[in-house]
Amino acid sequence: MKFFIDTADLGEIQQAESLGLLDGVTTNPSLIAKIVPDPDAFTYEDFKAHIAEICRIVDGPISAEVTTLDAESMIREGKDLAKIHDNVVVKCPCTLDGLRAIRHLSGEGIRTNATLAFSPTQALLAAKAGATFISPFVGRLDDISTEGMGLVREIVTIFDNYGYATEVLVASVRHPQHVVDAALAGADIATIPFKVISQLIHHPLTDAGLDKFMQDARVMKKSGT
């Protein structure tokens, strides 16, 4: 299973990359907005420079989202974003215009991530359009009392039934159990916030066991062993 980090924060990306376990990065306009100190001074060129900086840190797919709604504008924006670096993946929403843009961009060899996916039919259409990744938003579904991971299981089954190459990228991950369930469902990737990546390794029994081992190790040092 591949792990992406779901953030635009360069410090977080750098720290996660230093673990040696990072396969890619996902961003969206809200994540970009979080790291911008002065929104009035932030330009589209600054956005592209920021994505380029992420590409310098991580050698893997880096999702950058379009900020337009009609297919023609998405295609134009997507082509421009793809010029930043070979690793840039253009994120388009699961709408009819988004599908048109995905079809067009993938036809030109540009990788795409169909985002804001909340139903198996959206995933099926995105796969047929040639999307490289489909992003079911599990946390946002859970927020409205609909089991997000149920959608992931449905998408994995549908893609397996027909041999679609589109990779299932579980998004809107809120806690470690989402990562476990995504792995059990056979998802290809989970994109995980930095805080959740940090939580994945922690276990109170590991901490307690380590404390005891360290105490015992001090005894051994005292006796010169």
Q: Which is nearer to ligand E4P, 72 or 77 (CB)?
A: 77
Position of minimal CB gap to ligand E4P: 172
Q: How far apart are CA 46 and CA 11, in angstroms?
A: 17
Given candidates 135, 179, 185, 197, which one binds ligand E4P under the rule CB under 6 A?
135
Contact present, 114 and 134 (Cβ < 8 Å): yes
Q: What is the DSSP letter of 146?
A: S
Q: How far apart are CA 223 and CA 39, in angstroms?
A: 62
Closest separation between CB of residue 137 and ligand E4P, Å? 5
Q: Which is nearer to ligand E4P, 112 or 172 (CB)?
A: 172
Stretch that binds ligand E4P, among 76-84, 99-107, 135-143, 211-219 (CB under 6 A): 135-143
Q: Which is nearer to ligand E4P, 99 or 173 (CB)?
A: 173
Contact set for ligand E4P, span 180-199 (CB under 6 A): 191
**Residue 191 backbone zone (phi > 0: left; psi -120 to 50: alpha; other: beta):** beta
Angle at 190 between CA 30 and CA 25, to 5 degrees: 50
Q: Which is nearer to ligand E4P, 146 or 206 (CB)?
A: 146
Q: How far apart are CA 100 and CA 171, in angstroms?
A: 22
Footprint on this chain of ligand E4P (rule: CB under 6 A): 6, 26, 28, 30, 115, 135, 137, 139-140, 171-172, 191
